[in-house]
Structure 1
Amino acid sequence: MGKTITYYLTPQSPFAYLGHARLLRIAAAHDAQIDIRPFDLGRVFSVSGGLPLAKRAPQRQAYRLQELARWSAHLGVPLNPQPKVFPVPPEPAARLIIAARTSLGVAPALELAGAVMRGLWAEDRNIADDATLAQVADLCGFDGRMLLKSAATAGVQDQFDKNTDDAIAANVFGAPWYIVDGEGYWGQDRLDFVERAVSA
């Protein structure tokens, strides 16, 4: 068995979406395990100096849109840089992914995470809406209603809070964030380095 990639993500991140499928391919190619940890990026921003998108300078917001278009074309991953429902509260989707990991395992949670992010960034779905989340889960072959019930439990919220606490302790300040052998890598554009780390 290969190394473990600790994967901190927030479902409303377009860069997590852009890197998600590639991360899965890297892990499969090197027999690496992925430890998926949805977390509260807003709370991390509050202690690390980050700003939500709406509070960033106009030139930073404009450049972000350019980068999204470039990476979408480069990777061949369809992406609408300005979906109808954005910004969107990420907590319902994050809790659903945690519920999938808890009840179904890591691979289903990774599949669901990819589908949820694709729903927002390529299909204009509202990933804060319970009915939409249930439908996305159903399309993955899971029981969406069951996962929604699980996502509403205190245990899932506790795990979400723990993931966030662990992210802060690990000096995470953005998403996606990958950790291999204790070393952090911020952003899907660092996946080349993640691959080198898991293949070492």
Structure 2
Amino acid sequence: MAATIDYFFAPQSPWTYLGHDRFVRLAREHGASVRLRPIDLGKIFPVSGGLPLPKRAPQRQAYRLVELRRFSEHLGVPLHVQPRFFPVAGDDAARLVVAVDQHDGSDAALRIGGAVLRAVWAEERNIADAAVLADLLAENGLPPERLAQSREAPVQQRYDGHTAAAIEAGVFGGPSYVVDGEIFWGQDRLDFLQRRLEQISN
């Protein structure tokens, strides 16, 4: 029996970046299908008690940088803890992932999603710039028309639907991996997700 994982994430999230490749490997190892659900955290936080980064207490902001550095070193994943283009609006990149998912399937969407995350945190590129998104499509062998399609109403509707589904599921941050209604929040919960997938496959 193969699991289905709802993958709720924001494409500008460092924690999503740190866990993305491991999550993709884990899902493939267990034959799980992935439903990519990019979400708008700006709509999630107000209903779940979260705060955007600039509004968090200075102590929390400082500790976040410590943890990012720790995880980057521990996992061997290159990361600029204060990249050149951050904070950055993630909506355009999220819609691009949705468009690729819609037209090219989840594997392609996982690929462009990973590329977007690396662009922010490893390569210090501006994912709010349409030219950067076009370059990422080309670098990943995906059709250039996906960028124009990402601006169409059906993609926005799907993006809004993913955010609404996250709220309905009780998701309050990203990344969140949801299996049969059970939420695993954060890349540091991937071990628990692995155990859950093993239970399903056995």
TM-score bracket, shorter-length normalisation: over 0.9
Q: What's the offset of the Cα at 1:89?
A: 0.5
Q: Would you say 1:143 and 2:149 are equivalent positions?
A: no
Letter in 1 for 2:69: A
Structure 1: how far apart are the matches of 2:180 and 2:192?
12
Q: Would you say 1:190 and 2:189 are equivalent positions?
A: yes
3-state SS of 1:68 partner? helix
* CA deviation map 1:18-73 (0-9, x unaligned): 00000011111111111110011110001111000000001100110011001111
Over the aligned positions, Cα root-mean-square deviation in angstroms equals 0.7
Q: Would you say 1:70 and 2:67 are equivalent positions?
A: no
Q: What's the offset of the Cα at 1:143?
A: 1.8
* Aligned counterparts, 1:23-42, within 5 A: 23-42=23-42
What's the % identity of the aligned pairs? 54
Name the structure 2 match of 1:15: 15
3-state SS of 2:50 partner? coil
Q: Would you say 1:125 and 2:125 are equivalent positions?
A: yes
* CA deviation map 1:146-167 (0-9, x unaligned): 0111101000000000000000
Letter in 1 for 2:78: P
Q: What's the offset of the Cα at 1:172?
A: 0.6
| Count of matched residue positions in the alignment of Structure 1 and Structure 2 | 199
* CA deviation map 1:119-164 (0-9, x unaligned): 00000100011010010111001123x0111101000000000000
* Aligned counterparts, 1:36-115, within 5 A: 36-115=36-115
Letter in 2 for 1:155: P
Q: What's the offset of the Cα at 1:87?
A: 0.5
3-state SS of 1:107 partner? helix
Stretches of structure 2 that go unaligned for 5 or more consecutive residues are: none
Letter in 2 for 1:84: R
3-state SS of 1:173 partner? coil
Structure 2: how far apart are the matches of 1:183 and 1:150?
33
3-state SS of 1:135 partner? helix
Stretches of structure 1 that go unaligned for 5 or more consecutive residues are: none
3-state SS of 1:8 partner? strand
3-state SS of 1:127 partner? coil
